[in-house]
DNA sequence: CTGAAAGCGCTTACAG
DNA sequence: CTGAAAGCGCTTACAG
């Protein structure tokens, strides 16, 4: 592969001059510039980004550690992050934590070793020592979707409180009284917040959330299946299962179907996070939709602000309820 | 951030010695080694991967350019690629082409500028000049799923021929006679091969594939919707629509539902690529399943073989038909 | 407007 | 067993 030296030689100038034209430095004579550009084209020269990064101490790369690539919510988030970053002149490298703190740490470490300019994380846990170090190390960082308490890092997330309340109102209006939730890990903010929002909405409607109606999932499909089995084995099973993400809703569907039960007749089902397939499931699934694209874009803007030395605030967007048939006939239909 | 110089100073040795212990060079006295390790721990030192790469001319990173992150097939592929690569000591950086040749080229260029050790690509087109250059440039490369003709690069892919024939047999057994396909871009191998396999299976069963029963899609959802609309507007619409990937099947479902039609009563539907949600759609969707995980792992092994100077062959796995209810009652049920 | 030189943080032959 | 030195491919003050 041709190096800057080859180009310099070919153009009959010094490497400094080649570097200048490559970086659009104004003080290069037009004629010199043309000679260099010709040499670049002739040799098919491409600057070595590794060498440039070492020298300039910047990689123009952002790291993104997501909780689970198999979760369409995160995949859509990753997409919008990459789009916005590219528009602003940055690349992004993604690490998939697969909901495992150890894997998350692995990726944070690898990314920092590569000297990425900034780190976007949706933490799978409450903050490992490594993660805390990273946050304090001076590498610009922003949390997206999930965050860690007690760390001075901006957060870009969705507040699902209102939508969860709307969901509970919807469920009560349909006559449901025994509501259960499959929660995410208590170590994650969204794991905790969604249960809390659910609990306080229930309270508002005069309902309780007994311990055996809280299933401890891990945001992945299998746990949704296991928790659903546990609920359905209860002497008095719940009327409704609310899955705190779409993967656990998938697991719930698997279990319900395996038992030959029907949604919503035997159990109603609702999910946090909306995905295109929810329109086509049997029945279509009521879900809480996040403004995922905007979330990703806002997170990138916040991170790049930090990277480039500007200040940023946290941003909180809001989710909305999308009601479909999985909890019973929607308002306005025949009973 | 501490550098190797700081560690050397702290431990009272030269940077060469520090480098040696970091790289497990045998000729370091145990005592020296311990002193260095202590300094490393004290300073929280992490080697700068950028500097190391510049010096060693290897990044221990693989590039993966996938056609579309929003497609669960590619997302699962990416997952298995990353898993296998990590197990073999490599990182992977993913570029999402979003089915756009220009974006694909952007990522190939960026990845090569970063001097990744090897490139895994599922091309979105028939081979841009840049792609052809890359293949010839000496950077180890392997195609996965899709490939480019006339380029000497190993291919790891699935042969769907047998499964497509099984699908057509299944459809004929159910009495369908007017079969249509929503194909992928003709510039892609899978775009062409799936139509070809479909056409020759039809011929085998004495059926034709008229031009107006071939919809030209682009592997993304919208095109599935548009082509389905076109089929349904035909004076004599097809009995069955076969979508060449799961995203176009989603689009087809959208259109069918928008018209208030039912699957399979009004039109039957089948898809290439199976996803977990196909079990829960209304009705469950008959699909052709690829061994996606194995595909990704085999591709990584092939690429790393090349990177490390070994030779590799192409590998061809096979797909299988998973029949569900979207084409009519399965064999053995009541009619 | 251009070049010679230093230096980014590593690794590795070469000496001793 | 260890160190001094060269060099990977760039960028950028410093001179001229």
Contact B283, B276 (CB under 8 A): no
Report the percentage of chain B scoring pLDDT > 70. Answer: 98
B279: closest chain A residue by CA: A254
The C-alpha of B207 sits at a distance from chain A's nearest C-alpha, in angstroms, of 31
| Strand positions, DSSP E, chain B | 61-66, 91-96, 118-121, 141-144, 155-159, 179-183, 214-216, 240-243, 268-272, 286-289, 315-318, 320-322
Q: Chain A closest CA to B4's CA: distance in Å? A: 13
Could you give the CA distance from residue B173 to residue B4 in angstroms, rounded to a whole number?
71
Q: Which residues of chain A, if any, have pLDDT below 50?
A: 331-335
For residue A137, the model assigns a pLDDT of: 85
Which of the 8 DSSP states describes residue B220? S
What pLDDT is stored for residue B136 in this prediction?
87
Mark yes or no for CB contact A250/B69 under 8 Å: no
pLDDT (tens digit per residue) in B296-316 = 999 999 999 999 999 999 999
Other residues' Cβ atoms within 10 Å of the Cβ of residue A258:
11
Nearest to A263 by CA among A273, A253, A271, A272: A253
Partners of B69 on chain A (C-beta within 8 Å) are 75, 78-79, 82
Q: How far is B83 from chain A (nearest CA, A)?
A: 10
A16 touches strand C (CB under 7 A): yes
Q: Which nucleotide is nearest to A45 (CA to C1')?
A: D9
What pLDDT sits at residue A332?
A: 45
Strand stretches in A150-292, DSSP E: 155-159, 179-183, 214-216, 240-243, 268-272, 286-289
Question: In sequence order, what E strands does B184-312 have?
Answer: 214-216, 240-243, 268-272, 286-289
Q: Is the CB of B56 under 7 A from strand C?
A: yes
Give the best residue of B56, B280, B285 to mutate against chain A (max A CB count within 10 A). B280
What's the pLDDT score for residue B330? 59
Residue among B304, B319, B318 at smallest CA distance from B142: B304
Contacts of A200 (CB under 8 A, 6+ apart): none
Query: Is the Cβ–Cβ distance between B81 and B143 less than 8 Å?
Result: no
Indicate the fold that domain B159-290 takes in CATH.
Answer: Rossmann fold (3.40.50)
List Cβ neighbours of A142 (8 Å cut-off, separation of 6 or more): A118, A119, A120, A121, A153, A154, A155, A156, A299, A302, A303, A306, A312
Q: CB B305: neighbour CB atoms within 10 A?
A: 17
**Domains A59-157+292-317 and A159-291 alike in fold:** yes
pLDDT at B89: 95
The predicted pLDDT at position A295 comes to 98
Please state the domain extents for chain B: 4-47, 59-157+292-317, 159-290
Distance (Å, whole) CA B329 – CA A162? 43
Nearest CA in chain B to A249: B277
Q: Do A110 and B91 touch (CB under 8 A)?
A: yes
**How far is A134 from A46, CA to CA, in rounded Å?**
33
Residue of A nearest to B221 (CA): A276
B157-177 pLDDT, tens per residue?
A: 999 999 999 999 999 999 999
**Predicted confidence (pLDDT) per residue in A59-85, tens digit:** 999 999 999 999 999 999 999 999 999
Separation between Cα atoms, residue A321 and residue B313, nearest integer Å: 51
Phi-psi map region of B316: left, alpha, beta (phi>0 left; psi -120 to 50 alpha): beta
Asked whether the predicted pLDDT for residue B324 surpasses 50, the reply is: yes
CA closest to B275 among chain A residues? A277
Considering the four listed CATH numbers 1.10.1740.10, 2.160.20.10, 3.30.70.20, 3.40.50.2300, the one that applies to the domain covering B59-157+292-317 is 3.40.50.2300
- Structure tokens that stand for A4 in this block: 């800057």
Is residue B243's pLDDT more than 50? yes
Looking at CATH, the fold of the domain delimited by A159-291 is given as Rossmann fold (3.40.50)
Residue A257 has its nearest CB partner, among B78, B280, B283, at B280
How far is Cα B242 from Cα B171, in angstroms, rounded to an integer? Answer: 10
Reduce the DSSP state of residue B335 to 3 states and report it: coil
Would the pLDDT of B114 be above 60?
A: yes
**Which of the nucleotides in strand D have any atom less than 7 Å away from a protein CB atom?**
1-5, 7-13
Contact A93 B96 (CB under 8 A): no
Q: Residue A183, Cα to own-chain centre: how many angstroms?
A: 17
Residue showing tokens 């590498």? A139
- Can you give the distance from the CA of residue A19 to the C1' of nucleotide D15 in angstroms? 18
CB-strand contact A113/C, under 7 Å: no
Q: Which of A57, A77, A114 to mutate to test the interface with B (most CBs of B within 10 A)?
A: A114
CA distance A94 to chain B (A): 7
Indicate yes or no: strand D within 7 A of the C-beta of B31.
yes
Q: How confident is the model at residue B153 (pLDDT cuts 50, 70, 90)?
A: very high
**Predicted pLDDT of residue A330:** 59
The CATH class that applies to domain A4-47 reads mainly alpha
- pLDDT for residue A329: 77
C1'-nearest nucleotide to the CA of A27: C1
pLDDT in tens, A215-271: 999 999 999 999 999 999 999 999 999 999 999 999 999 999 999 999 999 999 999
């Amino acid at each position: 592969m041709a190096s800057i030296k080859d180009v310099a030689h070919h153009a009959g100038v010094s490497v400094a001059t080649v570097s200048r034209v490559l970086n659009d430095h104004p003080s290069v004579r037009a004629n010199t510039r043309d000679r260099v550009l010709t040499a670049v084209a002739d040799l098919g020269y491409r600057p070595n980004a590794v060498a440039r990064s070492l020298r300039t101490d910047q990689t123009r790369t952002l790291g993104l550690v997501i909780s689970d690539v198999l979760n369409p919510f995160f995949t859509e988030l990753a997409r919008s992050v990459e789009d916005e970053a590219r528009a602003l002149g940055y690349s992004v490298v993604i690490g998939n934590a697969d909901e495992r703190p150890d894997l998350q740490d692995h990726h944070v470490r690898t990314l920092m070793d590569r000297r990425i300019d900034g780190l976007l994380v949706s933490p799978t846990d409450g903050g490992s020592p490594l993660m805390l170090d990273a946050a304090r190390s001076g590498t610009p960082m922003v949390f997206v979707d999930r965050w860690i308490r007690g760390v001075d890092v901006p957060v870009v997330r969705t507040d699902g409180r209102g939508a969860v309340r709307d969901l509970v109102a919807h469920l009560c209006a349909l006559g449901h009284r025994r509501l259960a939730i499959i929660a995410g890990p208590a170590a994650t903010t969204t794991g905790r917040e969604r249960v809390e929002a659910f609990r306080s909405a229930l309270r508002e409607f005069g309902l309780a959330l007994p311990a055996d109606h809280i299933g401890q999932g891990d945001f992945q499909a299998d746990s949704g299946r296991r928790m659903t089995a546990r609920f359905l084995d209860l002497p008095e099973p719940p009327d409704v299962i609310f899955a705190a993400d779409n993967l656990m809703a998938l697991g719930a569907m698997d279990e319900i179907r395996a038992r030959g039960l029907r949604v919503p007749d035997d159990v109603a089902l609702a999910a946090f996070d909306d995905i295109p397939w929810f329109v086509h499931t049997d029945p279509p699934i009521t879900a809480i939709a996040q403004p995922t694209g905007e979330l990703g874009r806002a997170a990138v803007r916040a991170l790049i602000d930090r990277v480039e030395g500007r200040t940023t605030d946290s941003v909180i967007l809001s989710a909305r309820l999308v009601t479909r048939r999985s909890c019973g006939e929607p308002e306005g239909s025949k009973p």
